[in-house]
Amino acid sequence: TRMTRQAPKALQLAALLEQHQEEIATTWAEMAHDLPGTRYAKHSVAEIHSWLSRGVTAAIESLSTGSFAATEAHLRDISLTRLQMGFDISEVTEGLLLIREATLPVLQRARQAGATELDGALPALDTYLRFAVARFGHLYAEAMEKELRASEERFRTVADFTYDWEYWVNPDGDYVYMSPSCERITGYRSEEFRQDPKLLETIIHPDDRAIVAKHLREEPIEG
């Protein structure tokens, strides 16, 4: 679902961000690169700058129009791409929040120059960031679920067409998945194994049954 709440409409702040977009994006990228213990450090400042410059553009449009549409599209994109790059949600959230620190020097200079119309700029930016970060968390969770489904689908596709007999067992010992090759190898369909978790032990040759049963009991099942 799309974010329905309106973004704060702050034309003066949007104009300031647009006027100093390059400076803000550069400062933001340098700050993100220097975040300790994050994956940002593995990328160049120039690469991070290209990511975050789009973030500034999205903020400018949302603050100009009072609509989160541009920010929504940007966050939806980075939620998937950062996940695929191995970023943790906390890392990206921390990086997103740095736009505030990157904008502060620009705001301070403008106010010192007498731009009194920017008195409400920081609260507007804070409001924008609260909604943006909350929305990112939701979209990141959606992206994780989507990636998990895609991963399972890829495995199933391979397993369904492989010649080997593949199966998944959950921590309770129940079959979650059984590849179709089981019928060719054992004579029993996958549904029969799922209906009877003990079927595998039952059809093993009596001379080997104790060894296999011991293995199945002792083999750790994680996840």
The pTM for the full model equals: 0.65
Residue 4's pLDDT is 47
- Kindly list the distances between the CA atom of residue 71 and the CA atoms of 7, 125, 136, 200, in Å, as whole numbers in the listed order: 9, 13, 10, 53
Residue 148's pLDDT is 81
19 Cβ contact partners less than 8 Å away, ≥ 6 residues apart: none
Digit-coded pLDDT (tens) for 116-141: 888 889 999 999 999 899 999 999 99
**78 pLDDT above the threshold of 50:** yes
Q: Which residue has the tokens 């969770």?
A: 141
Residue 169's pLDDT is 80
**215 pLDDT above the threshold of 90:** no
φ/ψ region of 115 (left if φ > 0, alpha if ψ in -120 to 50, else beta) reads beta
Q: What percent of the chain shows pLDDT beyond 70?
A: 95
Q: Which residue has the tokens 């409001």?
A: 127
E strand segments, the chain: 167-169, 175-178
Give the pLDDT mean for 167-184: 81
Digit-coded pLDDT (tens) for 43-60: 999 999 999 999 999 999
SS3 state of residue 179? coil
**151 pLDDT above the threshold of 60:** yes
